[in-house]
Every structure is written in structure tokens, then in C-alpha cells.
Amino acid sequence: MNQDVLLHVINPNSTASMTDAIGRAARSAARPTTRLLVQNPANTPPSLEGTTDQALAIPAMLAAITQAERDGARAHVIACFDDPGISAAREIATRPVIGLCQAALQTAMILSTRFTIITTLPRAVPHIEDLAARYGVGKSCRRVRAIDCPVLELETNPDAAMRKMRQEIARAKTEDSAEAIILGCAGMVEMRAPLSRQYGLPVIDGVTCAVLQAEALATAEFLTSTIGASAAPYAKMPCPQAHRIML
């Protein structure tokens, strides 16, 4: 097994400062011998807050994954808690592709019997609830909460965001009987350590979980399945020009 691996970590939005924070967390989690390629595309939304933002970001993300694999990446981390485009990414990549939400949920299932996810905006709650159901965590996920804070305000007004996060964690412990907290946004990654110390329970960030899982899969030289639903898309010739007709 090769201990010296290259992991590709991609933030699908175009906010470089968030990518830097994700990179710091990834570097802290990974082994010293693990090399990291951490990037974000250009010309994607500054934050992903809904399905429209995701749709605009996914094509550039897929192109970056394809290029990173050519450059020798042994696994990929999609550093957005919505796991945008993860099924498509797994179709085009031969190496493992890890999403923050799935990685964090799997970790929480190991560390606790019941947990709460805390995200940014209320509009994200239904989507994360759907992801939790898709990943099969059942009643272990007690609730998805929101601090009503836009993603970019995690950086521009961090004190207010942290205050709201503390309020929701206190509610989650008493109202949800939560034994662990999942941070439901990549932009929250640097909140993990201080919140865990303060509340004495596991506070789980998806970046750390996804990097560790990606590193393990890459080291073991696992590959993504290429049959059935995971098969690569058929090659198709694009239509050379648009077509429009009124009838």
C-alpha cells in the first residue's frame, strides 16, 4: 500500500478565503506524507445556497476532478456539505469521491447514537434532511437546525455566527438529546475545536472526516465501481448549434 498519496480537495464555490480555511483543516487532518491539491474553480457562485447555485457550480467542479485525476490524484473530496454533483463525479472518476455530508454522517453514526446537524440558512434544512434520508441514518439524526446566517457571513461576521451556533448547540443538547453535533457547512470548519471543548461532546466537521476517509481509501488503493449505476457516461457528440422552433 502506497503511503504517499495525492488527495484532491475541491471547494465548488469561488470564495478563495473559504478554500484556504478548508485547506488548513485538510492539512491538519492528513498525514504529513499525504500531498494535497486544494482548489476552487473560477466563475462559480461565491457560495452554494440552493439547487441553482449547485447547478451552476457542478460543471466546473467535474472538469476539475477530471484534470486532478490526470494529475495523479488518488481520491477526491467535494468540500461542500450539500454533496453537489457527487453521483456525476463518481461516474467520471475512477478514484474514490467523498462528500462532506456522507462522511460526517458516517462518522457521527460511529461516535454517537443520536446527533443533530446545524447548518447556515433555513432553506438548506430540507435538502440536508433529504441527504440524511438518502444516506440511511434514520432516527439517529434527531434534527437539522439552522443558525439563519448566510454562508459568507461566517467569514464577515464570525462572532455573530459563533454566538448563534452556541445557542443552537445548547438547544440541540436539551431538546434533541443530541450526543454529537455535525457542522452542516464547509465554511464552519474552524468552529469544530472550540465548540467541542466548550460543550464536551463530539463536534464533527465534514472536511476532517472526508479527508481521513479519502486518505484511507487512497492508501488501500480502492477504486470506484465502474459498472451499473456507477458506469461512466456514454461518449456523445455535442450538437454544434442551438435549435429552437415555435409551433
The yes-or-no verdict on residue 3 having pLDDT over 70 is no
pLDDT confidence of residue 233: 87
Q: How far apart are CA 168 and CA 135, in angstroms?
A: 24
Q: Band of the pLDDT at 238, cuts 50, 70, 90? A: confident
Q: Are 137 and 107 in contact (CB under 8 A)?
A: no
Write out pLDDT tens, residues 97-154: 999 999 999 999 999 999 999 999 999 999 999 999 999 999 999 999 999 999 999 9
Mean pLDDT of 11-25: 96
Instruction: For the chain, give the mean pLDDT.
Output: 95
The reported pTM is 0.93
Confidence (pLDDT) at 241: 85
The CA R_g of the chain, rounded to the nearest whole Å, is 18
Instruction: Tell me the C-alpha distance between 70 and 94, whole Å.
Output: 11
Instruction: Check residue 2 and give its pLDDT.
Output: 60
d(CA 68, CA 95): 10
Q: What is the pLDDT of residues 20-45, one digit of tens each?
A: 999 999 999 999 999 999 999 999 99
Q: Sign (positive/negative) of CA torsion 191, 101, 88, 224?
A: positive
Confidence tier at 235 by pLDDT (50, 70, 90): confident
- Please give the sequence-ordered ranges of beta strands (E in DSSP) within 139-218, or none if there are none: 141-146, 180-183, 203-205
Torsion of CA 160, 199, 196, 189, to 10 degrees: -20
Lowest mean pLDDT among 60-64, 153-157, 207-211: 153-157
pLDDT tens figures, 59-103: 999 999 999 999 999 999 999 999 999 999 999 999 999 999 999
Q: List domains and CATH numbers for the chain.
A: 6-99+208-230 (3.40.50.12500), 101-206 (3.40.50.12500)
Best CA proximity match to 177, nearest among 102, 110, 112, 133: 112
- CA atoms of 124 and 103, how far apart (whole Å): 18
What confidence score (pLDDT) does residue 189 get? Answer: 92
Residue identified by cell 492508501 is: 219
Cα–Cα dist 198/167, whole Å? 12
